Amino acid sequence: MEYSKFEVSIDASTEKVWDSLWSDANYPKWTNAFCEGSHAVTNWQEGSKVHFLDGNNSGMFAVIERNEREKFMSIKALGEVVNGNEIVDTEMAKACAGSYENYTLTREGDKTHLLIELIADTLPPEFKDFMDNAWPKALKALKAVAESN
């Protein structure tokens, strides 16, 4: 079992952090740390599908396992998206399928503590290294977005 966690304290309400995480306007601002042109195609509702895409319409697809507004989001990876097509039989798709990204928001006085947990059976070392490098950059950008205005 692979497990990674990333945390940040943000000087903003849980409502503002939630909006910074998932709104169409803000999501690309912090996920650009993962890839240029990053965006999500979804309604973020529990049970719905989500496509996490780059500027070339490729990336990963997943399902929203749990959505407790302003508290918790759990996303389960299902496979890869290549040129807009869902694929489950590539090495990357097989390696990532069944992994989870969990987002927990906790109010701490005037701040919000955000905990990101990545849980997978196995991940290719290069993918884990990429995530370990990209997540701190993404959280720095998210903090800036949420604390602005």
Could you list the residue range(s) of the whole structural domain that residue 59 is in?
Answer: 2-147
In the prediction, which pLDDT does 96 show?
80
CATH number for the domain that contains residue 40: 3.30.530.20
Q: What's at 1, amino acid-wise?
A: M
What does 66-132 look like in DSSP terms, one character per residue? EEETTTEEEEEEEEEEETTEEESSSHHHHHHTT-EEEEEEEEETTEEEEEEEEEES---HHHHHHHH
Q: What is the pLDDT along the chain (149 residues), one digit of tens a residue?
A: 789 999 999 999 999 999 999 999 999 999 999 999 999 999 999 999 999 999 999 999 999 999 999 999 999 999 999 988 998 887 777 878 889 999 999 999 999 999 999 998 877 778 788 889 999 999 999 999 999 96
**Under a CB-based contact definition with an 8 Å cutoff, are residues 34 and 49 in contact?**
no
In the prediction, which pLDDT does 149 show?
63
CA atoms within 13 A on the CB side of 16: 18
Q: How many domains does the chain have?
A: 1
Q: Return the SS3 of 61.
A: strand
In the prediction, which pLDDT does 75 show?
98
In the prediction, which pLDDT does 133 show?
94
